[in-house]
């Protein structure tokens, strides 16, 4: 078999461990998605601010998805083989493990807010521009877990741990997941101020770049899951960055706006932007940086005032060419993170027009103005102005809102063909395979 023929038979698997479910995508060398499969996650256990989950649930579901997809490949694409796999997970979800990778307690989830004492301790030591501030940081959770389990051998993120169940090699993570754990991507090292915390650096993961080769799959996992023994396990990333990769944004000035319950912006920059006073941080990805932030505004504001049925009925009647001039700043409640980091900022949604349609359009215009202000703030701090904006999330399907946003941004807005994080992780698996084999894809 020629090298070209062999390469044509290669497939790549990406797994996304999201907030409500886990999805797998299989793509070919041309980056076409051939098949996918999704299973729901049960809700995590919640007790006031403590939100946790048994990691065995993730392993069970991920392994079932892999077995399902390998069976589909065998039936529908018998000449093809999954040769590489990458996993992304929710940013900030952390667990402590023993020297064999066995969890010592439930994982603390990405939205757990219980580690306030640890967050206060970190705030006294960490630089202002570091991504570890607040009870939502993985570092706060790691410090808490190590207090509870000083015998722990590894601190793992969600994606790291599930990937390690396939290789047996625990204690390896990617630098995107490690941002909120304190890793300094500018210096490629764990900072010295961590020594002043109740945390041993030896328990922190070895950090690699997303798309890096970690290890071949273990023989036991390969047999159980129906994968070849030479299947490469590739370092993944966070779920939001995997979704960014999925859109196809790939050059300086490419931006991605996610229009979900909240408004999330990221732009590819040739230098990092760290401005916590504006809620702005940067992740490194290949030779570029993803700079951005997340506003509290978004679809959640619309759902406070209208049912989905009402929104669907009004959308065709919107008139994006006729601005309402109401200049709203739509927020679901008091407080904003980005582009204005102001816990006391009040929603501005007055005066309210007599008709619902004008009120609906004014909210959309307000969210579009926040998006434009966000990219302007990033540009002021050194990021490029957006050259094109890819759109993901439920709001991307509204053509009138797209027109409103193009007018506010003065930039082309493109509906991304792919937005699933699992597809982005499959692209990382494809990239990692190409790099480790030297075969140009």
Q: Is the CB of residue 163 less than 8 Å from the CB of residue 236?
A: yes
Please tell me the predicted confidence (pLDDT) of residue 4: 52
Q: Is the CB of residue 291 less than 8 Å from the CB of residue 383?
A: yes
pTM: 0.89
**DSSP-derived secondary structure letter, 432:** H
Q: Is the CB of residue 387 less than 8 Å from the CB of residue 277?
A: no
Count other C-beta atoms under 10 Å from residue 206's C-beta.
11
Q: Which domains does the chain have, with CATH numbers?
A: 3-240+421-437 (3.30.420.40), 250-415 (3.30.420.40)
Render the burial of 278-314: b for 16+ CB within 10 Å, e for the rest: bbbbbbbbeebbbbbbbbbbbbbbbeeebeeeebeeb
Please tell me the predicted confidence (pLDDT) of residue 441: 78
User: Tens place of pLDDT for every residue, the chain, 441 residues?
Assistant: 344 557 889 999 999 999 889 999 999 999 999 999 999 999 999 888 889 999 999 999 999 999 999 999 999 999 999 999 999 999 899 999 999 999 999 999 988 889 999 999 999 999 988 889 888 889 999 999 999 999 999 999 999 999 999 999 999 999 999 999 999 998 999 999 999 997 888 999 999 999 999 999 999 999 999 999 999 999 999 998 999 999 999 999 999 998 888 899 999 999 999 888 888 989 998 889 999 998 999 999 999 999 999 999 999 999 999 999 999 999 999 999 899 988 899 999 999 999 999 999 999 999 999 999 999 999 999 999 999 999 988 788 899 999 999 999 999 999 998 989 999 999 999 999 999 988 887
Give me the DSSP letters along 201-226: GGGSPEEE-TT-EEEEPPHHHHHHHT
Q: Is the CB of residue 432 less than 8 Å from the CB of residue 212?
A: yes
- pLDDT tens-digit series, residues 197-222: 978 889 999 999 999 999 999 999 99
Expressed in angstroms, the distance from the first to the final Cα of the chain is 18
Give CA–CA dist 110/369, Å, rounded: 29
Q: Is the CB of residue 249 less than 8 Å from the CB of residue 390?
A: yes
Count other C-beta atoms under 10 Å from residue 150's C-beta.
11
Give CA–CA dist 25/236, Å, rounded: 14
């Amino acid at each position: 078999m020629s090298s070209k023929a062999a390469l044509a038979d290669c497939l790549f698997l990406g797994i996304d461990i999201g907030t409500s479910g886990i999805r797998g995508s299989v793509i070919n060398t041309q980056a076409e998605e051939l098949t996918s499969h999704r299973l729901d996650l049960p809700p995590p256990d919640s007790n006031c601010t403590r939100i946790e989950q048994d990691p065995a649930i993730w392993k069970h579901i991920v392994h079932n998805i892999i077995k399902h997809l390998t069976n589909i490949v065998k039936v529908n694409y018998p000449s093809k083989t999954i040769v590489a796999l990458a996993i992304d997970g929710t940013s900030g979800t952390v667990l402590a493990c023993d020297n064999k990778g066995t969890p010592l307690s439930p994982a603390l989830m990405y939205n757990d807010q219980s580690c306030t004492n640890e967050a206060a301790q970190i705030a006294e030591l960490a630089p202002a521009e570091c991504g570890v501030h607040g009870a939502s940081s993985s570092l706060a959770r790691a410090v808490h877990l190590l207090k509870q389990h000083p015998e722990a051998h590894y601190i793992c993120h969600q994606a790291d741990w599930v990937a390690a169940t396939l290789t047996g090699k625990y204690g390896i993570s990617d630098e995107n997941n490690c941002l909120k754990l304190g890793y300094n991507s500018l210096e490629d090292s764990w900072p010295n101020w961590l020594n002043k915390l109740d945390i041993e650096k030896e328990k922190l993961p070895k950090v690699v770049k997303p798309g890096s080769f970690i290890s071949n799959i273990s023989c036991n996992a390969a047999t159980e899951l129906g994968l070849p023994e030479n299947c490469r396990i590739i370092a993944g990333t966070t779920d939001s960055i995997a979704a960014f990769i999925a859109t196809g944004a790939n050059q300086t000035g490419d931006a991605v706006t996610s229009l979900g319950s909240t408004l999330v912006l990221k732009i590819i920059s040739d230098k990092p932007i760290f401005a916590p006073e504006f809620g702005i941080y940067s992740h490194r990805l290949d030779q570029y940086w993803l700079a951005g932030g997340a506003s509290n505004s978004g679809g959640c504001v619309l759902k406070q005032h209208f049912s989905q049925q009402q929104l669907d009925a009004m959308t065709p009647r919107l008139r994006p060419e006729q601005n309402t001039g109401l200049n709203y700043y739509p927020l679901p409640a008091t407080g904003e993170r980005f582009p204005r980091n102001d816990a006391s900022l009040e929603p501005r949604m007055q005066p309210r027009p007599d008709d619902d349609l004008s009120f609906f359009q004014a909210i959309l215009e307000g969210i579009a103005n926040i998006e434009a202000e966000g990219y302007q703030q990033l540009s002021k701090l050194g990021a490029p102005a957006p050259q094109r904006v890819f759109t993901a999330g439920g709001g991307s399907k509204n053509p009138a809102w797209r027109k409103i946003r193009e007018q506010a941004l003065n930039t082309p807005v493109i509906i991304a063909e792919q937005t699933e994080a699992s597809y982005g992780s499959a692209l990382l698996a494809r990239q990692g395979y190409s790099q480790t084999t030297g075969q140009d894809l």
